Amino acid sequence: MVEWGMTSLPAIQGSTISTAKLFDMDDTGQIKESYQADIIGVEGNPLEDITILENVKFVMSDGVVINKKSPL
């Protein structure tokens, strides 16, 4: 989406919050109390450089790190 002119924030939101709403997943898509969340950790700020999301350092599901490539 960024390659076609969208800025980073709406592109990330389109992949998370908007997708959850599209599929009627009311408790998903945000990091918020009582919401389901699987998150990734990256080194840097994807709002400044969206390609940072291509180098995931860890994946967390239900509060547990399930895949860790290297320490942040």
Could you tell me which residue, 28 or 40, shows the higher pLDDT?
A: 40
Residue found under tokens 């599209």: 22
Check pLDDT > 80 for residue 67: no
Got the DSSP string for 23-62? TT-TTBSS--TT-B-EEEEESS-TTT-GGGGGSEEEEEET
Distance CA 57, CA 72 (A): 7
pLDDT tens sequence across 6-30: 999 998 888 777 777 888 877 776 6
Distance linking the first and last C-alpha atoms of the chain = 27
pTM, rounded to two decimals: 0.68
| Integer angstrom CA distances of residue 63 from 29, 37, 48 | 15, 8, 26
Check pLDDT > 90 for residue 51: yes
Check pLDDT > 60 for residue 71: no
